[in-house]
Structure 1
Amino acid sequence: MEPESRPRLVTKAMLKHDKVRDADLLLLPERVVELNASGSAILRLCDGDRTVREIVEVLEEQFGATGLTDDVLAFLRDARDQGWVVVA
C-alpha cells in the first residue's frame, strides 16, 4: 500500500452503523468487526477511486489534523492483511 494506491473494500464486505450499539461495523462473511471512529472514517473513503493521499487529505480536513499519512497507511496495510480491502 502506497500513497498513490486506490484501496476499496473487498466485494464481500459492507459497512453498517448499528443503532443499538451506536457503533460502526464492518460486515464480512461469518465475521463482524466493530470499528472505532477513525477506522470507520478511513474505510468509508475507500471507494477504489480515491488514492490514499486523497483519503488522507479528506481526513485531515475532517478532523482538523495534519500528518496522518503514516497512520492511515499503517491502518490500510493491516486492513489489507486482514482481507478487508484490496487495491483497485
Structure 2
Amino acid sequence: MNAPPEKPKLSRLFRLQWEDAQSDYVLLYPEGMVKLNRSAAEILKLCDGERDVQTITHDLERAFSVAGLKEDVNDFLRIANERNWIS
C-alpha cells in the first residue's frame, strides 16, 4: 500500500465539481463519475499541491470546529491515492 503524496493534488484525469442533479460533489473522469460524500469532497477541495497533509487536516479541523481528524484524513488520502484520484 503506497502512502499518499506529502502535498497531494487532484490528478489531472479527474475534475471535482458540484452537480445539482446529484446534490453533491462528484469526481468526473473520462470513463464516468464518482459521487462523493461531504467529507471526501471537503478533503479533495484542499488537495491543491501546495498544502501538506498536516495543513489539510488543520484547515479542516478549524473550518468544522472539530479535533482529531488526522487518522480519518490519512485513511481517505490513502484510498484516494490507491484510486489515482490524487498525485
TM-score, normalised via structure 2 length: 0.92
Which consecutive segments of 4 or more residues in structure 1 shift more than 6 A? none
1:36 maps to amino acid: N
What residue ranges of structure 1 are gaps of 5+ in the alignment? none
For residues 8-29 of structure 1, the C-alpha deviation after alignment (integer angstroms, 9 at most, x for no partner) is 0111110110112211001112
Match of 1:44? 45
In 2, the alpha carbon distance for the partners of 1:25 and 1:83 equals: 15
- Say how many residue pairs are matched: 85
Structure 1 match to 2:12: 11
- SS in structure 2 opposite 1:85? coil
1:63 to partner: Cα distance: 1.1
Segments of structure 2 that go 5 or more residues without pairing to the other structure are: none
Other structure's SS at 1:83 match? coil
- Percent identity between matched residues is 38
2:18 aligned counterpart, secondary structure = strand
How is 1:16-31 mapped onto 2 (pairs within 5 angstroms)?
A: 16-31=17-32
**In structure 1, C-alpha distance between the alignment counterparts of 2:71 and 2:30, rounded to whole Å:** 29
Amino acid at match of 1:72: V
Code of the aligned partner of 2:59: V
Shift of 1:69: 0.6
C-alpha RMSD over aligned residues: 1.3
Q: Which moved more, 1:34-43 or 1:18-27?
A: 18-27
* Cα distance in 1, alignment partners of residues 19 and 53 from structure 2: 27
TM-score, structure 1 length as denominator? 0.91
